[in-house]
A and B are shown apart, each in its own frame.
Chain A
Amino acid sequence: MIIRRNLAILVALLVALPAMANGVDRPNLEAGIGIGYLSPRATDLSNLYDGGPVYQLMVSKSISKPEGAISLEVGYFKSSADLSAPFFASNAVAELEWIPIDLVMRIRSAGRWSLSPHLGLGLQFLWAREHFDYRLAGQNRSQSPEDRFDPGILIVAGADRVSSPRLRLEGFLSVVPTDRRASVDGENYETGSDDTLDAGSFGIRVLWRLP
């Protein structure tokens, strides 16, 4: 239900924002691919999962008033961690996969040295999947809790190189409030306590804007 609602919001924004931009100006379409470094922000996650590479695809549409662009970006991040386990369990490993789907509006200002700085604000819809492998009584076991899909906000700041190669360097920070869940055999349950969690992240990335 939550996933459906979030998807509806996402689709609405995807349709609405470019339409608003179109009303202002005839924008240029551009695409890009990127790579960066991402680290989970919240202690629950960062204590467990190391930061690592995040891969990204981007499409954007320029707008003129204010000068900037609206982008739809999809990333992929994966990390794994050894877990501490009760003494009768062993080889406990958790794996986290994130697919952040970002809808960002960037505003550019006139730059110097062929660089155009920008500041952006947007929505992040974070699909998350956590998987567990462990060994009990000599047998390999695994569990995959239900996937999560949580909305949050995203702030980016960086600069675009105007001349070729058209690169973008920017830092990003997201806030994605969610909650911890108990899970048994793939089914998630409330933990019973007010155990909130920020599934946000921060990092830096380089994006090559395709001609």
Chain B
Amino acid sequence: MRKVPRHTRPISLAVVLILVACSAPLAGELEPYLSRVTNGKAATGEQTISHLFVWDETLAAQSRARVMIHRVEGIEWETIRHEIERVSPTCKWEGSAGVLAQAVVDFGDLPAVAELPEIIYVCRPPRPIPCTVESEGLSGMEVPSFASLGYLGQGARVAILDLGFAGHQYLIGTELPEDVHVKSFFRSASGDGDINGDGENHGTACAEIVYDIAPGAEIYLVNAESPVEMNAAIDWIIKENIAVISHSIGWFFGSLDGVGPINDIARKAVESGIVWVNASGNEADRHTWAYAVDADNDDFLEIALDDELLDFTNIAEGDSLEVALLWDEWPLISNLDLAVEFVDSEDRLLATSEDEFGNYPYAFRYLHWKSPDGRPIAIRIRRVRGTTEGQVIHLFRLGNGVVMEEHAKADRSLLVPADSRFVIAVGATNWETDSLEVYSSRGSIRNDPIKPELCAPVGVSTRTYGDEGFHGTSAAAPHVAGAATLLASTGLRGGYHDIFWTRDDIELLLEAHAKPAPYIQPLAWGIVRMPVEMPVAKGAGPLLLGNPTRGSSHWTANCETVEIIDTHGRIVALCSAGAWDGRDMRGRDAPAGIYWVRCSKAGEASRLVWLGR
């Protein structure tokens, strides 16, 4: 046996100590806010500012909190649950989704739960925001003409998945069907929660629009507030054989390019055959993104070229400033850790997300600050640790009616899960003009198609929101969901089977019949529109033969813009009255054949025989 040289022994001992230390279980962490609550140090009313997190006042009054628990990989929840219930005997387990679980825990037990070696983090569950802002949009979508053929959504099931449906009871029989189904996972992953969602009526307005479009469909109102609740809701929706989900909700809980727990839940629904329609978000004018670069190595990232500060000058005394920062590292931070900070004009630190989110395991930071004097401030992003290489950062300003005063970028401004390639994201267009609303989130998703796929009308009337109109992509998504539901109710009648279109079929129809909108960039498919029947005998015969000399076709029309429609009812091109160069919206040569020329939004169409280029 060889003897170990004397001088190597201290090194061996150190290695052993390090190995022992590494193999010892590491305790998880408790979110600072929950720590303060546990110690009775939370400021009165402090929780109300954190609308991005679930906080139940009723539970808080009982010194309990609903929390999200993130476990380490490789251990089953059943095992950990026993440990949690051992250290917190009054804990009420509510469910799990992958590595996340939700439970109601006494304030006093929270530190012990967080210290369990199998736990990574204990925090308030993240909460999505409604993409708020009847519908006059139906006519432009050709819904009345589609419905006149008897297609009202009969037999199709559509779920509106939202935060709350307050007031829906008063609309049953008028704005909502008599037999509306309700199921609530709101603060109850077992499905016996409060359908009113603590007074939130956003879902009710969305349901009104779906019902306007598909009055014959079976409408399901389902609400949930946290990822675990949403996972339970989706499992239930899948079991109910629901064809379409309308989700006018955006989450700040993912990479914004299709990765994260919420995207996984949406993907599960889509892979089970459900058409998932999602509001794209209302963040286009209050968002910016950049590749994470610290060119001068001062630990502050460049938000724009040579600019590390994002200025906010339009501030009044008492104004609240809220920002959310996200970057690519999902589901958990492995390398780069960032902090968002507010500084004054003399570069003095006013607030930093490190206080609340210093060890937050997700690539998300949130900072809220109330201006005491209305003086201009700036935001900067500090690299706490790690390398920035290959990372993309997104900064959102939150709050009603606020915009990013400089460096605003609409591109890549979609919220989760509208950023998923499995989801139909819906942007907002004015119902009267078809123009894109400036706030409508849009843009390309890294390595994925252009978003949103469709736009739909907003500013429409609902009973819930009254005369102000229902604005925001929240109003747009239910229009597309309603259209998808109408299509889902159609199909073929065979001998044994009534065949209904598949999810792929419905998406194909929505894409093929969308009204092209080349003036909206980027936009994948167009503005939502139902298929239109082009009666063969309509119009006054061939308006004009395609140019026999292979030039342009010319005609006269009493409108500025005309639609060229093929015999399947699809709009092939939009052009000014008088000429069509024979190309479709993507610049490809349209095949020779019969087309229809129609003044936009006017009923009568005339036939055009196109001889080809």
A residues engaging B (CB < 8 A)? 40, 44-45, 48-49, 81, 83-90, 92, 94, 96, 128, 130, 132, 134, 136-139, 141, 143, 145, 148, 178, 180-185, 187-189, 191-192, 197, 199
- Chain B residue at minimum C-beta to C-beta distance from A150: B496
Query: When the two chains form their complex, are residues A185 and B492 in contact, meaning their CB atoms are under 8 A apart?
Result: no
Is A132 a contact partner of B498 (Cβ separation < 8 A)? no
Contact call A137/B502, Cβ cutoff below 8 A? no
Can you give 22 A-B contacts (C-beta < 8 A)? A40-B495, A49-B495, A86-B490, A88-B533, A88-B569, A90-B568, A96-B496, A130-B494, A132-B492, A136-B501, A136-B508, A137-B511, A137-B513, A138-B568, A141-B504, A145-B497, A148-B496, A178-B496, A183-B497, A184-B273, A188-B497, A191-B498
Q: Which residue of B lies closest to A49 (CB)?
A: B495
Contact across chains for B512 and A138 when beta carbons are under 8 A apart: yes
B residues with a Cβ closer than 8 A to A are: 149, 151, 155, 241, 243, 273, 490-505, 508-509, 511-513, 531, 533, 568-570
Decide yes or no: A87 and B512 within 8 Å by CB, A183-B497, A183-B500 being known contacts: no
> Given A88-B513, A136-B509, A189-B241, are A45 and B495 also a contact pair (CB < 8 Å)?
yes
Query: Given A87-B149, A88-B569: A132 and B273 within 8 A (CB)?
Result: no
Across the interface, do B508 and A137 meet the contact criterion of CB distance under 8 Å?
yes
Residues on B with C-beta less than 8 A from A83 are 492-494
Assess the A141–B499 pair: CB atoms within 8 A. no
Known: A137-B512, A139-B508. A180 touches B497 (CB 8 A): yes
Most buried by A among B499, B511, B568: B499
How far does the alpha carbon of A199 sit from the alpha carbon of B494 in the complex, in Å?
A: 13
Whether A86 touches B500, Cβ cut-off 8 Å, given contacts A94-B495, A137-B568, is no
Residues in A whose Cβ lies below 8 Å from that of B508: 136-137, 139, 141
Which one, B273, B494, B568, contacts A185 given CB within 8 A? B273
Contact B496 A92 (CB under 8 A): no
Q: With A94-B492, A132-B494 given, name 6 new contacts (CB 8 A).
A: A83-B493, A87-B533, A138-B568, A145-B497, A182-B155, A184-B273
B498 touches A94 (CB 8 A): no
- Docked Cα-Cα span, A81 to B500, in Å, equals 18
Q: Are B492 and A181 in contact (CB under 8 A)?
A: no
Residues of B within 8 A of A137 (CB): 508-509, 511-513, 568, 570
Residue in B273, B500, B569 whose CB lies within 8 Å of A182: B500
Q: Check A134 against B492 for contact (C-beta < 8 Å).
A: yes
Query: Given the complex of chains A and B, what is the CA–CA distance between A185 and B512 in angstroms?
Result: 20
Chain B nearest CB, measured from A141 CB (Å): 6
Question: Which of B273, B498, B531, B570 is the one whose CB lies under 8 Å from A87?
Answer: B531
Given A88-B513, A132-B492, A192-B155, A181:B497 Cβ within 8 A: yes
Residue from A81, A84, A145 within 8 A of B496 (CB atoms) = A145
CA–CA, A191 to B497, complex, Å? 9
Chain A residue at minimal CB-CB distance from B508? A137
The chain B residue sitting closest to A148, CB to CB, is B496
